[in-house]
Amino acid sequence: MPKERKEKSNPFHFAQEQLDSAAKIMKLDPAIHSILREPMKELHVTIPVKMDDGKTKVFKGYRVQYNNVRGPCKGGIRYHPEETIDTVRALAAWMTWKVSLVDVPYGGGKGGVICDPKKMSQGELERLSRGYIDAIWQIIGPEMDIPAPDVYTNPQIMAWMVDEFSKLKGYYCPGVITGKPIPLGGSEGRGDATAMGGIYTVREAAKHLNIDLNHATVAVQGYGNAGSFAAILSKKLFGSKIVAVSDTKGGIYSAKGLDPKAVLKHKQKTGSVVKFGRTEPISNKKLLELKVDVLWPSAIEGVINGDNAGRIKAKIIAEAANGPTTPEADKILDKRGIFVIPDFLCNAGGVTVSYFEWVQNLYGYYWSAEEVYKRLDQKMTRAFHDTLNAYREYKVDMRTAAYIVAVRRVAEAMKLRGWV
């Protein structure tokens, strides 16, 4: 029995189940369906790293290239002590659908290293990052596979990685990696791109549901990059009231509303949002069940599941995190009329601006932040309405609708290229 519960919590099985549901509705060619259920290619590597104490520690890493029929693979690199190959496979699959949905010429990929970066020095992180590139460099590149930052990786780590790749190639190659610091070819607008893309989809969802965002209440679970920017931008652009936010150590609630920028400064100073000002403590579990207009799950996978989906009271769920809602919860939320903006639509702003960065790298001309946001708005708004049209046509939930749009484009490319 415990083994069965473990199987059900496997994120890659969630990804396959979501694909299966869409494939059945759209009557997907069985051969295409079979190909799309599994990664096209995956690499498992060992990375020896000289630690500060003089000892060598061996780390395990992965790079999964899920499907490249529409272009080079694209996907972040995660550093996490509990990283698994199935998590990387799931995220590579979701990235395949994400880039297809926003209609950028990429396939899906993902990478990860099992490590605890919080317990490593900057020197150790640099040696690990260079070692990871040494292990995978032959399968990545601007025309093959373009990594980016993800969980516990950042622009500095990307800078080390692009430098290592460039040394191996013998010339500077900024287009191999996105999410770089701006002086090394990074793009304006990349820092808040994930949240900004989500903000555009929330705006469109609110129009669809006739919700006035100026008077809306918002709760954010997970106050990292995406979550903090989601809160800040919701207040700045819409005038929404942020009533609750949380991180791994707990949450805070205020019926009068929070100042999200002040909360972020408090977290940067103390390491957590807890004990901020005149607020009430709230658990992550209770935050998810608040009666709010917009709920942003912005932390980890599976937080909205069969156990709590019946108690969710939000009108809109904007999935800034990857895989925060399980397939079982999706069915419950759909029956209850809760409007979900699925992860690979809602959080596609990050990869879209990564695409813009890659384009700028390739032709050596860089855009202003205003130009980036304008182009991002166009991409995200079109993707939302493509999904909404499928939602209406097939009479399915928004996640299944997004799958139908994305998978249809991948399937068409596979047929045109003669893969099936």
Alpha carbon 279 to its chain centroid, in Å, reads 29
Q: What does DSSP say about strands 73-80 and 339-341: parallel, antiparallel, or unpaired?
A: unpaired
Alpha carbons 265 and 298: distance in angstroms, whole number: 18
* pLDDT higher than 90, residue 33: yes
SS3 state of residue 64: strand
Kindly calculate the radius of gyration of the chain based on its CA atoms and give it in whole angstroms. 21
- pLDDT class of 7 with cuts at 50, 70, 90: very low
**pLDDT, position 2:** 38
Q: Which of 173, 177, 165, 181 is nearest to 133 (CA)?
A: 165
Closest CA to 297 of 245, 351, 239: 245
CA distance 336 to 308: 13
Report how far residue 272's alpha carbon sits from residue 278's, in angstroms, rounded to the nearest whole number: 15
Q: Where in the chain is the domain with CATH 3.40.50.720?
A: 193-346
Query: CATH 3.40.50.10860 occupies which residues in the chain?
Result: 41-174
> What's the pLDDT at 119?
95
Please tell me which residue in 74, 98, 110, 267 is annotated as part of the active site. Answer: 110
Note the pLDDT tens digit of each residue in 181-232. Answer: 999 999 998 888 999 999 999 999 999 999 999 999 999 999 988 999 999 9
Name residues whose C-beta falls within 8 Å of residue 142's C-beta, 6 or more positions apart in sequence: 72, 173, 175, 176, 358, 361, 362
CB 200 within 8 A of CB 381: yes
Q: Provide CATH code, domain 193-346.
A: 3.40.50.720
For domain 41-174, the CATH superfamily is Leucine Dehydrogenase, chain A, domain 1 (3.40.50.10860)
Distance CA 178, CA 193 (A): 13
* pLDDT per position as a tens digit, 120-169: 999 999 999 999 999 999 999 999 999 999 889 999 999 999 999 999 99
Average pLDDT over residues 2-16: 65
- Annotated catalytic residue 207: no
pLDDT of res. 6: 40
Phi, psi of 283 (to 5 degrees): -80, 160
